[in-house]
Amino acid sequence: MLPPPRGRKHLDHYLHPLDRLAHKLDIHHSLSVAEKAAIRDLPHIVRWREAQSYTLREGDRPDRCAILLSGYAFRHKLTGDGERQILSLHIPGDALDFQNMFLEESDHNVQMLTRGQVAEIPREPLEELAMNNAAVGRAIMIHTLVKAAIFREWVVNVGRRDARTRIAHLLCEFAYRLTTFGQTPTGSFELPITQEQLADATGLTAVHVNRVLKGLEADGLIDRTRRIVSFPDWRMLRDVGDFNSRYLHAPELET
Amino acid sequence: MLPPPRGRKHLDHYLHPLDRLAHKLDIHHSLSVAEKAAIRDLPHIVRWREAQSYTLREGDRPDRCAILLSGYAFRHKLTGDGERQILSLHIPGDALDFQNMFLEESDHNVQMLTRGQVAEIPREPLEELAMNNAAVGRAIMIHTLVKAAIFREWVVNVGRRDARTRIAHLLCEFAYRLTTFGQTPTGSFELPITQEQLADATGLTAVHVNRVLKGLEADGLIDRTRRIVSFPDWRMLRDVGDFNSRYLHAPELET
DNA sequence: CGTACGTTTGATCTTTCTCAATAATGGTGG
DNA sequence: CCACCATTATTGAGAAAGATCAAACGTACG
Q: Say which residue, A31 or B227, is predicted with more confidence.
A: A31
How many angstroms separate the CA of A157 from the C1' of C1? 44
Which residue has better confidence, B228 or B66? B66
A153 vs B contacts (CB less than 8 Å): 77, 107
Give how far B172 is from chain A: nearest CA, Å.
15
Please give the pLDDT value at position A255.
53
Closest-CA residue to A108 (of B151, B238, B94, B138): B151
Compute the average pLDDT of residues B236-255: 87
What is the average pLDDT across A88-107?
Answer: 93
A60-86: pLDDT as tens digits? 999 999 999 999 999 999 999 999 999
Q: Which of B59, B131, B242 has the CB atom closest to A80's CB atom? A: B242
Q: In the predicted model, is pLDDT for residue B104 greater than 50?
A: yes
Question: Which residue did the predictor score with more confidence, B234 or A105?
Answer: A105
Average pLDDT over residues A33-40: 94
The rounded distance, in Å, linking the Cα atoms of B13 and B69 is 11
Cross-chain CB nearest to B160 (options A58, A83, A152): A83
Angle, vertex CA A28, rays to CA A24 and CA A34, nearest 5? 65
Between B158 and B11, where is the model more confident? B158
- Across the range A87-110, mean pLDDT stands at 93
pLDDT at A187: 59
- What is the mean pLDDT of the segment spanning A103-129? 95
Q: Are B190 and B202 in contact (CB under 8 A)?
A: no
Nearest to A255 by CA among A181, A182, A175: A175
Share of chain A above pLDDT 70, in %: 90
Q: Which residues of B touch A246 (CB under 8 A)?
A: 58-59, 105, 107
* Cα separations in angstroms, B233 against A112, A158, B239: 41, 30, 10
Percent of chain B at pLDDT > 90 equals 72
Q: ∠ CA(A228), CA(A232), CA(A237), 5° rounding? A: 95
Q: pLDDT at position B6, please?
A: 40
Say what the pLDDT of residue A7 is: 37
- Look up the pTM and report it: 0.92
Q: What is the mean pLDDT of residues A239-251?
A: 93
